[in-house]
Amino acid sequence: MPTTLRHPGTVLTDHVFPVPLDHARPEGEQIEVFAREVVAAGRESEELPWLLFLQGGPGGGSPRPVGQDSWLRVALRHYRVLLLDQRGTGRSTPANRQSLALRGTAAQQAEYLTYFRADSIVRDAELIRRRLLGENVRWTTLGQSFGGFCTLTYLSLAPEGVREAFVTGGLPGLRTSAEDVYRAAYPRVAAKNAAHYARYPQDIETVRQIAAHLAAHQVRLPDGSPLTVERFQCLGMLLGEGSGSHRLHYLLESAWLGGAAGPELSDSFLEGVRAQISLAARPLFAVLHEPIYAQRSLGSQGTRWAAQRVRAEFPGFDAERATAAGEPVLLTGEMIYPWMFGLDPALSPLREVADLLAERGDWPDLYDTERLAGNEVPVYAAVYDGDMYVDRDHSLATARAVPRIRTWVTDEWEHDALRVSDGEVLERLLAMARGER
């Protein structure tokens, strides 16, 4: 039975849905998918339209709201919202080093994880829609980042379930390989580095000193794992967020203190680094990050650690070279590298699994370009001009290829605008849907 509780201004109802691991075998193994229904207090009995929220990721659980916070303040004026914990995340059946160990060999674990991409997430959503709303009632979707990727998969597989769709920072390239994604991403990340160093020029020397220290010393984070130069560079992930540059600066300014043997990296800095780069809370982000771009029609060789291979084309990210030349050390962005599975304790048991997934070449296509060419579902998409994570040009190419996608291109916000704009971004998209913008 669903459980219900009240927060200030909201009523929350928890649902757990059994779904097939493999939707092609509905009578086979079942897993659970958790979803939380949110409605404005006092409107519980109203016949409100439903809004399905598709979280970014991969591997991120849905928000845990307290009252009408963030974009929910706007959404709850119009909808009954369903916050979906995509399979493997949140309170859904977990997929991490602990649970995957029960599946058997690395090959068996890898096979299991092939059912955790957008196509399976969409089929879960359709099953849930029919159970909650009925066969003939459609819902609206709101896809943030990877949730936008899921939206285009939804329109490819089951557009009859969607009344209209909102996408924030998540229109994917339909025919874009993992190599294409990273070849476009490294220059954007370099530009974010340049903007950060222009804002905080003192950080140029701080980052260079930290990189030199890590190259010369063995440094461990508070969880006992090594902090290498490349791992330190992963702090650049912050630069794609609205306040990320400032947060990075404040973290860097706490880096050094005087120790018994001279300057050393402070415990507070090392803990801040650990909190930022550890993937213990979302291991699927690492394991499935490149497979979310894999489609057999784009190639049969697998992604083969595309971010690592493409990085060699951009020597500016070589910290040793930059340090020796007295140049700024560039931090990296939303890239997953194979060496992470040897350093992050949450990922180390999954190293062979990740290698097997990287070599897999028979991934089903996620987007049906022919079906999308005849799309009839209205889509309203925020495209962020300087988005570090999702390429603007790839997004706009998709908007041109799929009828009824209307875009709002803006340089006012970064990738996390849906969360940090206090509902302003969603309000703008709703106004577009109402014909007011």
Q: Which of 145, 156, 225, 395 is catalytic?
A: 145
Retrieve residue 311's tokens. 């990085």
- Cα 167 from Cα 406, distance rounded (Å): 10
Q: Is 415 in the active site?
A: yes
Within its chain, how far is the Cα of 80 from the centroid?
24
From the list 37, 31, 35, the residue with the least C-alpha distance to 18 is: 31
- DSSP letters, 67-89, are SS-TTHHHHTTT-EEEEE--TBS
Q: Which of 196, 213, 289, 415 is catalytic?
A: 415
Q: Which are the contacts of 214, defined by CB distance < 8 A and separation ≥ 6?
A: 227, 228, 229, 232
Q: What are residue 4's DSSP bridge partners?
A: 13
Cβ proximity of 316 and 329 under 8 Å: no
Retrieve residue 29's tokens. 């193994």
Retrieve residue 419's tokens. 């969360």
- Cα 231 from Cα 237, distance rounded (Å): 11
DSSP 93: S
Cβ proximity of 236 and 193 under 8 Å: yes
Residue 253 has φ and ψ, to the nearest 5°, of -70, -10
* CA distances in angstroms from 302 to 9, 59, 110, 120, 351, listed in the order given: 48, 20, 14, 19, 16
Retrieve residue 237's tokens. 């992930």
User: Which residue intervals of 377-423 are DSSP H helices?
Assistant: 392-401, 417-420
Known catalytic residues? 145, 362, 415
